[in-house]
Amino acid sequence: MKKAVNAVEDAPQEAEVEAPPAELVTERASTEGSETIRWVDLPLSPEIQRAIAEAGYVSPTPIQQQAIPLVLRGRDVMGLAQTGTGKTAAFTLPLVQRLIGGPRRTRALILTPTRELCVQVEESVTKYARHSPLDVVSVYGGVPIEPQTQALRAGVDVIVATPGRLIDHLERQNVIFDDLEILVLDEADRMLDMGFAPQISAIVKEIPAFRQTMLFSATMPPEVEALARKYLRKPLLVQVGRRSSAASTVTHAVYPVAHNRKSALLAELLNREEHESALVFTRTKSGADRVVRQLELAGIPATAMHADKTQPQRTKAIEDFKSGVIKVLVATDIAQRGLDIQNITHVVNYDVPQQPEDYVHRIGRTGRAAKEGDAYTFMAPDEIAMVRTIERVLGAPIPRVSVEGYDFGTAGADRESRAEGAAAAAPAGKTVITKKRRSIRG
């Protein structure tokens, strides 16, 4: 790969609406003229190459091809690529490479926004480091602190943590970051938004300024990118495709439907299509519980997962969903980022997400690692404007599907709003579904 970096002006594919002011843009790593990189082309040790082969990864994904060489050179990187395209390995593989052979101290910290993602990333690090002598621990809330304390005090090379629990450990001096060299914020835009910013700032104060920092996400709103700059040193932007684009492997559509008809439509769709596994997102915790009750009344077993559940309940829900014991999981935003569950065939936005980025992440829970998936978004009349905002950020219209008997007033209201928000893409055609297509749940 060509090593030079180009200035921002060379950056292709930036959408007009999304382009942040030039002074905020991170220097963009150039991949122009670069050839496809194979695993053997990357200077990763035999132990790591072996773990990659065992994972069954035939070739590195574009974000891996572009980010890994830069991370190996010690550069600060902001890595942006669609959901499900292997960002975890893009930072973990070179991180493991940089640690092996060095002193046995706590040298790397990866922060994630949720407990479930923390566990998943820890499993990834462990998988890629399986032939390397590194100790990895995950540290997250909702479970007893004592076992984590013991693990930290015994000494670890890599910590994967959620911020709140990590701060508890720092306050108890269970861990000291004097030797920390690498900091990764997975789901970086979420970690730097208002909810997490104070915690991240408190943690970063404990870490030496001379370190390598990496930020990864499928989305990065310009205002968050501006905030991110204070954590980065001469960062390189590695961006695959257009910013904030939805995964190309997901077929998504908007279903106009009144609020009080949503659960009936959900049951109808779940009964109509073959759903190996469906993840349904609601805006609120009580909403998730309500949808579960309504589905069960309709004869469709479902489980809720949200922040009012205990951690053992949350963990069991995810495990059962992964193993196929649970076919329909109804969750709040705690499940929207990073989770990599292979067999999710359908994502349903029962409520339209409140942030456009949330839409990208939610529908990205399906269609991962080159597999395909379907995503439905239920849009009530008062949610039309939000759908328009999402379409603007995506830079593409989302097709409308009208289901006979559910679509609220048919096209009228929707069309008016589309005319108002015409800044976005061309109007999408509307498909009308009247007949049953495939058979239903097994």
Q: Footprint of ligand ATP on this chain (CB under 6 A)?
A: 57, 60-61, 64, 81, 83-89, 218, 338, 340, 364, 368-369
**Minimum separation from the CB atom of position 308 to ligand ATP (A):** 24
268 binding partner (options ligand ATP, Mg ion, none; Cβ < 5 to 8 Å by kind): none
Strand ranges (DSSP E) for 47-189?
Answer: 77-80, 108-111, 136-139, 158-161, 182-186
Identify what 78 binds: Mg ion, ligand ATP, none; CB under 5 to 8 Å per kind: none
* Nearest distance in Å: CB 237, Mg ion: 17
d(CA 52, CA 90) in angstroms, rounded, equals: 12
Cβ proximity to ligand ATP, 60 vs 373, nearer residue: 60
Among Mg ion, ligand ATP, none, residue 165 binds (CB under 5-8 Å by kind):
none
Closer to Mg ion at the Cβ: 256 or 338?
338
- Give the residue with the Cβ less far from ligand ATP, 88 or 212: 88
Q: Cβ 87 to Mg ion, closest distance in Å?
A: 5
Closest CA to 15 of 423, 364, 366, 287: 423
Distance CA 244, CA 231 (A): 22
Residue closest to 281 by CA, chosen among 219, 333, 320: 333
Nearer to Mg ion, 124 or 303 (CB): 124
Query: Using the rule CB under 5 A, is 362 a contact of Mg ion?
Result: no
**Four-residue CA torsion sign, 100, 102, 106, 109:** negative
Task: Supply the minimum distance, in Å, between the C-beta of residue 370 and Mg ion.
Answer: 15
Nearer to Mg ion, 87 or 262 (CB): 87
Taking Cα atoms as reference points, which of 79, 98, 76 lies closest to residue 90?
A: 79
> What distance in Å separates the CA atoms of residue 82 and residue 294, rounded to the nearest whole number?
33
Q: Which CB sits closer to ligand ATP, 255 or 359?
A: 359
Stretch that binds Mg ion, among 83-91, 129-137, 228-236, 371-379 (CB under 5 A): 83-91
| Least spacing, CB of residue 117 vs Mg ion, in Å | 8
Q: Which one, 235 or 364, has the nearer CB to Mg ion?
A: 364
Q: By C-alpha distance, which of 22, 80, 148, 10 is closest to 361? A: 80
Binding residue (CB under 5 A) for Mg ion from 28, 75, 87, 243: 87
Q: Which does 47 bind (CB under 5 to 8 A by kind): ligand ATP, Mg ion, none?
A: none
Does 338 participate in binding Mg ion (rule CB under 5 A)? yes
Q: Does residue 84 interact with Mg ion by CB under 5 A?
A: no
Q: What are phi and psi of 77, to 5 degrees?
A: -135, 140
From Mg ion, ligand ATP, none, interface partner of 235 (C-beta below 5 to 8 A by class): none
Q: Are strands 158-161 and 136-139 parallel, antiparallel or unpaired?
A: parallel
CB of 196 to Mg ion, least distance (A): 16
Element (H, E) at 90: helix 87-99
Residue 261's contacts (CB-CB under 8 Å, 6 or more residues apart) are 406, 408
Q: Toward Mg ion, which CB reaches closer, 360 or 424? A: 360
Specify the residue for token string 């890629």: 128
Q: How far apart are CA 219 and CA 192, in angstroms?
A: 12
List contacts with Mg ion (CB under 5 A): 87, 338
